[in-house]
Amino acid sequence: MAAEDRRAFFREVVALAPMATGGNLPYRRLCKEFGAALTCSEMVLADKLVKGGERPLLRSHPSEDRFGIQFTGKHEDVMAEAARIAVANGARFIDLNFGCPIDLVVRRGGGAALLKKPARLARLVEAVRQAVDVPLSVKIRIGYSVEKLNCVEVATAAVAAGADAIGVHGRTRAQRYRLSARWDLVDQVQQAVGVPVLGNGDILTPWDLARRRRETAVRSFLVARGALIKPWIFRELAAGEPWNPTTAERWAVMRRWCDFALEHFGDDAKGLARVERFFLWHLGFWHRWRPYTEADFRAQLPDSLIQARSEPVDGDGDAALLASGNEDDHRLIFGRVLDRDYPAV
């Protein structure tokens, strides 16, 4: 594949960000239906992959026509071999995760620890570049800590080493989700590199997207928590306006995920237990959704966290149930979705 085609792969896309647990295959399939351009595996550890592990994480659904596999690691030969395995297992693109903040990974010199060593990071990118021909993105943060905001340096080194796109989460490793994403720095990366930047951080509404398009040179975007709260965010972002589903429509969306999950995990006792575990995990995000208008968004500038609105939803009695954070309510919701015990759309 020519370098220009590989870069074009990442141009002007709104993609589902890579997510552990949240990026399970049934959920990716749901987001794909709502319009996510790219989907990506949960993070895979290159070390484990080359030893024959992590295989379930490589699976994708046929509807995922632009599916990528994300991995992290710190040895060139291992990363190169992991890339070959990923492509052999259907990855249409590869994403290298150098933003991973997890202690276990960082303490061993992987993930975000590589942000402190741009030359070493670049050698890993180069090893992968030489091993495979598919589009290659590199996901970074704006720096390891506020004292080391070196994303422009890291991105430039990664592109020189062969990256076709740079995903930039506008936060440091240290800050986790505190403070809003620094889009001024995400923009600086796009100004500095000649490949698409996938801007990432706090895109929760169509107005967030419009603002980033207006105020920065970034043209491609990754959406994580917004898609966990409402998988239909991709539809909203494409339309440029919110879609506030009725409770009946929300039951139907939850059932849709369930159908995909039963198909993927199986409907025997073991499969059902996994479907339930994931469903309850997803409800931890889904229940935070609230209908909202542009006025709500304006009232909360500059941070438009939709879950900040806490008043109950109007409509039928189920609206309050679906907004509940209570675990017993979540089990009740799961039972009703399984039994199809909810009003038709």
Q: Where on the chain is the footprint of ligand FMN (CB under 6 A)?
A: 17-22, 42-43, 70, 97, 99, 139, 169, 200-203, 223-226
258 in Cβ contact with 271 (< 8 Å): no
CB of 71 to ligand FMN, least distance (A): 10
HSE of 71, CA atoms in CB hemisphere, 13 A: 33
The residue among 17 and 142 lying less far from ligand FMN, judged by its C-beta, is: 17
CB of 59 to ligand FMN, least distance (A): 16
CB atoms within 10 A of CB 245: 17
177, with CB counted inside 10 A (0-12, 13-18, 19+), is: exposed
CB of 296 to ligand FMN, least distance (A): 18
Residues near 327 by beta carbon (within 8 Å), at least 6 away in sequence: 280
Residues near 241 by beta carbon (within 8 Å), at least 6 away in sequence: 206
281 in Cβ contact with 262 (< 8 Å): no
CB of 100 to ligand FMN, least distance (A): 6
Task: Identify the active-site residue in 40, 100, 151, 258.
Answer: 100
The residue among 97 and 188 lying less far from ligand FMN, judged by its C-beta, is: 97
Find the helix or strand (DSSP H, E) in which 221 lies.
strand 220-223
The residue among 92 and 182 lying less far from ligand FMN, judged by its C-beta, is: 182
Find the helix or strand (DSSP H, E) in which 220 lies.
strand 220-223
CB of 216 to ligand FMN, least distance (A): 15
The residue among 43 and 131 lying less far from ligand FMN, judged by its C-beta, is: 43
CB of 340 to ligand FMN, least distance (A): 28
233 in Cβ contact with 208 (< 8 Å): no
The residue among 92 and 141 lying less far from ligand FMN, judged by its C-beta, is: 141
**Residue 213 vs residues 139, 149, 217, 304: alpha-carbon distances, Å:** 20, 23, 7, 16
246, with CB counted inside 10 A (0-12, 13-18, 19+), is: middle
CA distance 171 to 158: 18
Is 100 catalytic? The answer is yes
CB of 303 to ligand FMN, least distance (A): 11
The residue among 251 and 278 lying less far from ligand FMN, judged by its C-beta, is: 278
The residue among 223 and 247 lying less far from ligand FMN, judged by its C-beta, is: 223
Any alpha helices (H) in the chain, and if so which ranges? 3-8, 25-33, 46-50, 76-88, 103-107, 118-131, 151-160, 183-192, 206-215, 225-229, 233-239, 247-265, 269-286, 294-299, 317-322, 327-338
215 in Cβ contact with 207 (< 8 Å): no
244 in Cβ contact with 205 (< 8 Å): no
Residues identified as active-site: 100
